[in-house]
Amino acid sequence: MASIGSLPFMIETKTESSLLLHSNNNRRLRFPFFTHRPGRSIEVSGINAEVVGMCSRQINWCTKGKLWKIEPLRATGKVSVEGEDGGEPEDALQATIEKSKKVLAMQRDLLQQIAERRKLVSSIQSSSINQEEDKASFEQGNDSFPNVESSSPSGDNTVEGQIGSIASSSYGASTEDKELETVPSAVSRGLNKIEKDHGEPLPLNKAPSEVESTKHVNKTSSKTEWSDALPSFISTTAETSTPIDEELVDLKEPSLEEVNNWATDLMSEEVKPPPLAGANVMNVILVAAECAPWSKTGGLGDVAGALPKALARRGHRVMVVAPRYGDYAEPQYSGIQKRYKVDGQDLEVAYFHAFIDGVDFVFIECPMFRHMENNIYGGKREDILKRMVLFCKAAVEVPWHVPCGGVCYGDGNLVFIANDWHTALLPVYLKAYYRDNGLMTYTRSILVIHNIAHQGRGPVADFSYVDLPGHYLDLFKLYDPVGGEHFNIFAAGLKTADRVVTVSHGYAWEVKTVEGGWGLHGIINENDWKFKGIVNGIDTQEWNPQLDVYLTSDGYANYSLATLQTGKPQCKAALQKEMGLPIREDVPVIGFIGRLDQQKGVDLIAEAIPWMMGQDVQLIMLGSGRPDLEQMLREFEHQHRDKVRGWVGFSVQTAHRITAGADILLMPSRFEPCGLNQLYAMNYGTIPVVHAVGGLRDTVQPFNPYDESGLGWTFDSAEAGKLIHALGNCLLTYREYKKSWEGIQRRGMMQDLSWDHAAQNYEEVLVAAKYQW
């Protein structure tokens, strides 16, 4: 280590000898943690330069740990080079370096803008062109440093390492008006790559094209040129640096081709983004009565299986809690057992745990949950209520008892996401058992409405099952003009939850109306301030025509947007063959997937079938539900053997294949909080025809033939005539306007329907709940 000592200088004076520092005028990376100081006359008694790998080419301005920004200076006095004794203590400098490394590490964790990576590469390429011009103006000295491999001919004026560049501001022009720029984490990763290539750490304030810049010291020029950039001495490596031999460095400039090669490597390198939640990272526990792929009766299971993974990708620690209905392969017994009292009876539960795709899945086992996967919400009202009481009591204590990865979640910075009435007791228990008693003070709860028609209603006497203090009865009481006063679990959950989410913007509006609120519209309007609608996403790995595992056999084929015109017709022919229908490419195939009940509008399809059979179409329906509607499906198939197929029951494989092979998907739901089938269909190039309610209205933009926009067809009321009108326009476009049809398909497939956007919206709700008191 060496130092330049005894160098008093003032801004306005001249010097007898000069020191020329090579820098690049056009590029300056600034660190937001350096303090910008306005230009003024200052005096510095010493300059220390410590060799830190390749950081030896930087000047470290350290005065008792403070960092200074130096404006363009005119130095006075003579430059003298002393030994190690003239500098500050090495430990002080090293402490400053370590502190800066910690700051840099913090930046890497918080920075989110990966797009700045392209900006960096572009600036590197442009700056490399200007370096040839800059080099001529800098090479004014008669003596230059020899190569690092060569020995120094004279030790009188040598400086260990190379004094680094402090980026020039056009030879003295003030740059105080420039904003500080944030160095993205992609910069650090790119520099790490260069360090590996060169075998040395790279200074962070230098572009790769500047790493091997030539530095010169001119002993005879009449003045010294100083640059005004911020001091920088931070190495991207965490290793302790050691001084190198007292040799002078003269490395050649990199060529434009080398810079381009580096830029190409940087762009092609696969980089995972940092946790996007940043300072908002939280512990999140989603509680649901079903979770795909282990248990599923509808869209709730899909949400419970996919949303947590999207939140985990944003950096949150996420857990899913669900009942263990069967013998699942992945979850393993955790060794934790607890007892809870339900209706005066002690029930023992055991916890099973699995860690999949960054998410902790915890399953609660109890005899009353066993073998209920095909009838999750079935049984007598009292038995269903007891199961949900036990489930919520056990779920609210999971963060205390179950060590996921060896560490329990705890109750700090924690939020529960409860789903529908089955878990609406959880916010109530959180308040009654814990927050009212000074426990879980910083834990919050969010209640998600997937279907407000199901509310956990019963007589007021059912309050005895929930095991709560008597004064909590008022939360559950609700007056119904038809049934009178009754016990309502959803009502209590809506009142006690810190935030409430519905699964689409349209549904958030509908539940506030008398028709859509199902008796809870009054409570919802009173708590409107904590409501938000968030449209669900889809699992783009499972529901992706290019990756779909159910399209790899039986004549089906995976396809993408590029192969849509060949892959989808192949799937259509395979579906017709599998269903026993005539294989005809020209006939449109119409699909329906869903429960057979009034909500899904199956009766509207039944009224429209006679018209459909006169339109030369094929209809394939998959679902189960009301026995009378199941029988109706069988009768239609019997009457129209060559045009209708009714599959009573549910098959995941068949659902995927109908979605891929059908041309049109019907969703005439009377109400639909969000709907997932229309999202799946659009991702597969299948055109939806939907009733414009709830999430269907939010996600399916009506086709406009005048400007070739839109994603499908909609009708505005639950009437068979309106359904026939919309479906008729759809069939006309299919047969007569092929280019418009292909445009609708492509627009649907080009959408970003993943959970990532929805997860970001959920994160905003989590943060709002966190800071609510």
Give me the DSSP letters along 361-415. EEEEE-GGGTT-TT-TT-S-HHHHHHHHHHHHHHHHTHHHH--BTTB---STTEE
CATH class of the domain at 282-533: alpha beta
- The Cα–Cα gap between 314 and 537 comes to 15
646: its two tokens: 């009714």
* pLDDT value for 97: 78
Torsion of CA 82, 84, 90, 92, to 10 degrees: -30
* pLDDT value for 597: 86
580 or 61, higher pLDDT = 580
The per-residue pLDDT of the chain, averaged, comes to: 75
Alpha helices in 473-589 (DSSP H): 473-476, 489-496, 505-510, 514-517, 521-526, 564-579
81 or 480, higher pLDDT = 480
Q: Tell me, what DSSP letter sits at residue 159? A: -
Q: Tell me, what DSSP letter sits at residue 101? A: H
Q: CB of 650 within 8 A of CB of 671?
A: no
396 or 155, higher pLDDT = 396
pLDDT at 283 over 70: yes
The percentage of the chain sitting over the pLDDT mark of 70, rounded to a whole number, equals 66
pLDDT at 398 over 90: yes
pLDDT at 204 over 50: no
Look at residue 506 and give its three-state secondary structure: helix
b (16+ CB within 10 A) / e for 256-283: eeebeebbeebeeeeeeebbbbeebbbb
Minimal CA–CA distance to 283: which of 419, 413, 444, 445?
413
* pLDDT value for 148: 34
Mean pLDDT of 319-335: 93
Q: Which fold has domain 549-753?
A: Rossmann fold (3.40.50)
Comparing 83-92, 138-147, 189-198, 408-417, the range with the smallest average pLDDT is 138-147
* pLDDT value for 212: 39
* pLDDT value for 116: 58
Q: CB of 393 within 8 A of CB of 421?
A: no
* pLDDT value for 422: 93
**pLDDT per residue over 216-252, tens digit each?**
333 333 333 333 333 333 333 333 333 333 333 333 3
Q: CB of 378 within 8 A of CB of 372?
A: yes
Q: Which single residue is written with the structure tokens 């396809």?
A: 559
* pLDDT value for 141: 41
pLDDT at 263 over 70: no
275 or 548, higher pLDDT = 548
pLDDT at 29 over 90: no
300 or 131, higher pLDDT = 300
- The Cα–Cα gap between 38 and 329 comes to 66
Q: Tell me, what DSSP letter sits at residue 484? A: E
* pLDDT value for 125: 57
Q: Are both 282-533 and 549-753 of the same fold? A: yes
**pLDDT per residue over 77-124, tens digit each?**
333 333 444 444 467 677 777 777 776 776 666 665 555 555 665 655
pLDDT at 471 over 80: yes
Minimal CA–CA distance to 472: which of 442, 440, 429, 438?
429
425: its two tokens: 């007791």
Question: For residue 239, with 0-12 CB atoms within 10 Å meaning exposed, 13-18 middle and 19 or more buried, which class applies?
Answer: exposed
Q: How many CB atoms lie within 10 A of CB 308?
A: 28
Comparing 11-25, 295-309, 356-370, the range with the smallest average pLDDT is 11-25
771: its two tokens: 């800071």
pLDDT at 264 over 60: no
- The Cα–Cα gap between 401 and 704 comes to 56
Relative to beta strand 2-5, strand 46-49 is: antiparallel
Look at residue 675 and give its three-state secondary structure: coil
User: What is the rounded end-to-end Cα distance, in angstroms, of the chain?
Assistant: 57
Q: How many CB atoms lie within 10 A of CB 144?
A: 14
* pLDDT value for 766: 93
229: its two tokens: 């950039």
pLDDT at 393 over 90: yes
390 or 133, higher pLDDT = 390
Q: CB of 287 within 8 A of CB of 426?
A: yes
364: its two tokens: 């609660």
Look at residue 443 and give its three-state secondary structure: strand
Q: How many CB atoms lie within 10 A of CB 357?
A: 14
Mean pLDDT of 398-421: 91
Mean pLDDT of 467-471: 93
Mean pLDDT of 186-210: 41
Q: How many CB atoms lie within 10 A of CB 182?
A: 16
**How far out from the chain centre does Cα 540 lie?**
13
Q: Tell me, what DSSP letter sits at residue 210? A: G
The number of residues in the chain equals 773
Q: In what order do the strands lie in the sheet with 664-667?
A: 644-648, 618-623, 589-593, 664-667, 687-691, 713-715
Q: What is the largest CA-CA distance in the chain?
A: 107
Q: For residue 59, what pLDDT band results from cuts at 50, 70 and 90?
A: very low
Comparing 209-213, 290-294, 474-478, 542-546, the range with the smallest average pLDDT is 209-213
Q: CB of 460 within 8 A of CB of 432?
A: no
In this structure, what are the phi and psi dihedrals at residue 486, rounded to the nearest 5 degrees?
A: -145, 175
b (16+ CB within 10 A) / e for 593-617: bbbbeeebbbbbbeebbeebbebeb
Q: CB of 661 within 8 A of CB of 575?
A: yes
The winner for highest mean pLDDT among 236-240, 400-404, 446-450, 455-459 is: 446-450
Comparing 82-86, 307-311, 612-616, the range with the smallest average pLDDT is 82-86
pLDDT at 761 over 80: yes
Within a 13 Å sphere around the CA of 141, how many CA atoms are in the beta-carbon half?
Answer: 20
Amino acid at 706: Y
Comparing 130-144, 243-257, 671-685, 698-712, the range with the smallest average pLDDT is 243-257
pLDDT at 587 over 80: yes
Domain ranges of the chain: 1-269, 282-533, 549-753
Q: Which single residue is written with the structure tokens 């709860």?
A: 445
* pLDDT value for 181: 38
Cα distances (Å, whole numbers) of residue 162 to 148, 158, 249, 469: 10, 10, 6, 75
362 or 51, higher pLDDT = 362
Q: CB of 218 within 8 A of CB of 141?
A: yes
Q: For residue 371, what pLDDT band results from cuts at 50, 70 and 90?
A: confident
The winner for highest mean pLDDT among 246-260, 291-305, 690-704 is: 690-704
Bridge partners (DSSP) of residue 507 are none
**pLDDT per residue over 625-666, tens digit each?**
889 999 999 999 999 999 999 988 888 899 999 999 999 999
- The Cα–Cα gap between 519 and 479 comes to 8
Q: For residue 64, what pLDDT band results from cuts at 50, 70 and 90?
A: very low
**pLDDT per residue over 663-692, tens digit each?**
999 999 998 999 999 999 999 999 999 999
Mean pLDDT of 695-709: 94
596 or 179, higher pLDDT = 596
Do you find a cis peptide bond into 293, omega within 30 degrees of 0?
yes
Mean pLDDT of 202-207: 39
- The Cα–Cα gap between 747 and 757 comes to 18
Cα distances (Å, whole numbers) of residue 607 to 508, 624, 692, 718, 723: 30, 19, 19, 12, 10
411 or 498, higher pLDDT = 498
